[in-house]
Amino acid sequence: MTRRTTGRLADDREIIWYDVDGSPERSVPVDPRDLPHTATSSQMRLDPLTGEWIALASHRQSRTFMPPADECPLCPSRDGRHTEVPSEDYQVVAFENRFPSFSNRGEGIDPVDDGLEQVRAGVGRCEVLCFSSDHDGSFAALTPQQARLVVDAWADRTSALAQTPGVEHIFPFENRGREIGVTLQHPHGQIYGYPFVPPRARTELASARAYAERTGRSLFGDIVAQELADGTRVVVESEHWVAFVPYAARWPMEVHLYPRVQRPDIPSLTDAERDDFARVYLDVLGRFDRLYSTSMPYIAAWQQAPVHQDRDLAWLHLELFSIRRGEDKLKYLAGSESGMGAFIGDVAPEQQAQMLREAKA
């Protein structure tokens, strides 16, 4: 269903166009910009108190911040203005981030491990994925066919990044809205190829491992079954997917989307599951945007299996959440959440689900 066309930007970064099968053939344009080759100084330091890797990427301080629409670097290149996408139009496009947190183009550093302080090069890969050429659009405004094309792009990039040296976990995500802290308004997401399994994924998989050892069953599968049986927190369900507010929701608006059948990652989804996800996800995003008078800021975070471990435990799912707790109120991570990692919920999960069920078109 999807055709991919690959090229190179002026500084040798890879770019990939994704078009619905049957679209006109796409030629590979030349990027005429004079750009220096990307070289980063990313490094990782291990926090001895938590065992978590912290990435340091000071070169990102110079990245583009909230440019006006006529200077957006994610729009197509038109009328003599050259952007990150050297074509006059596109459907979906992915390219290496010019200001990556992790990169295999980085300046080499000598690893350090003295038993307390550990340092490694920040190897990996960071990509930008533009959902549409329409600067004023959004994921929620895509058609099911356009959304399905994004799913295929996520799957393709996951498969490709899994072959990238040093990558251990692949994380497609979207930050949407000024309140979330986006630096570019154009509808887009990112894909991180981490050189480690990040804390959230590690915690979920550790819980799944302990549950399997105790019960012989899948934690994720039992959660889906429990939510379907209870029904009070289910927002949307379909043949292949179920979307529900989690029992212990952290955020004032939070929905998790699971396939009914265990899949380790996005590439493993069938065509029918990809089509169905596009419909269900657009439904949920539409409900988010209908709750208040302005569009809902959110983070959409894919949880999929690590590249080299725990693939039998993982169950692909999308965690969608917002910091908005009312028409003109935001949830700030203050003392308990930021200082101790102990979340305090603002809206009961059952109330969240009811609000979203009532927000149908």
Residues 233 and 349 sit within 8 Å (Cβ to Cβ): yes
Long-range CB pairs of 54-63 (<8 Å, 24+ gap) are 55/101, 55/102, 55/122, 56/122, 57/99, 57/100, 57/101, 57/102, 57/122, 59/99, 60/99, 60/100, 60/101, 62/99, 63/98, 63/99, 63/183
Q: Do domains 2-197 and 200-358 have the same CATH topology?
A: yes
What pLDDT does 183 receive?
A: 87
What pLDDT does 59 receive?
A: 60
Please give the average per-residue pLDDT across 265-294, as a whole number. Answer: 98
What pLDDT does 360 receive?
A: 86
- Does 106 have pLDDT greater than 90? no
- Residues annotated as catalytic are 188
Q: Give the confidence band of 198 by pLDDT, cuts at 50, 70, 90.
A: very high
Q: What is the Cβ-side half-sphere exposure of residue 262, based on CA atoms within 13 angstroms?
A: 14
Task: Quote the DSSP letter at residue 80.
Answer: T
CA atoms of 257 and 36, how far apart (whole Å): 41
Please give the average per-residue pLDDT across 81-99, as a whole number. Answer: 96
Instruction: Outline where DSSP puts E strands in the chain.
Output: 2-8, 14-20, 43-47, 52-56, 92-96, 112-113, 118-121, 125-130, 169-176, 188-194, 234-237, 241-244, 253-259, 298-303, 317-322, 324-326, 329-330
What is the residue extent of each domain of the chain?
A: 2-197, 200-358
Angle, in degrees to the nearest 10, between helices 271-290 and 144-161: 120
pLDDT tens figures, 236-279: 999 999 999 999 999 999 999 999 999 999 999 999 999 999 99
Average pLDDT over the chain, rounded to whole? 94
Sign of CA dihedral 321, 139, 33, 164: positive
Average the pLDDT over each of 42-46, 221-225, 288-292 and give the range with the smallest value. Answer: 42-46
- Does 200 have pLDDT greater than 90? yes
Tokens linked to 3: 């055709």
Please give the average per-residue pLDDT across 116-121, as a whole number. Answer: 92
- Count of C-beta atoms within a 10 Å radius of residue 177: 18
- Does 130 have pLDDT greater than 60? yes
Class of domain 2-197: alpha beta
Q: Which residues are CB-neighbours of 292 under 8 A, at least 6 positions away?
A: 324, 326, 327
CA atoms of 161 and 157, how far apart (whole Å): 6
Looking at domain 200-358, its CATH architecture is 2-Layer Sandwich (3.30)
pLDDT tens figures, 153-186: 999 999 999 999 999 999 999 999 999 989 899 9
Residues 250 and 321 sit within 8 Å (Cβ to Cβ): yes
What pLDDT does 256 receive?
A: 98
CA atoms of 354 and 117, how far apart (whole Å): 49
What pLDDT does 361 receive?
A: 80
- Does 61 have pLDDT greater than 60? no
pLDDT tens figures, 5-19: 999 999 999 999 999
What pLDDT does 104 receive?
A: 84
What pLDDT does 57 receive?
A: 81
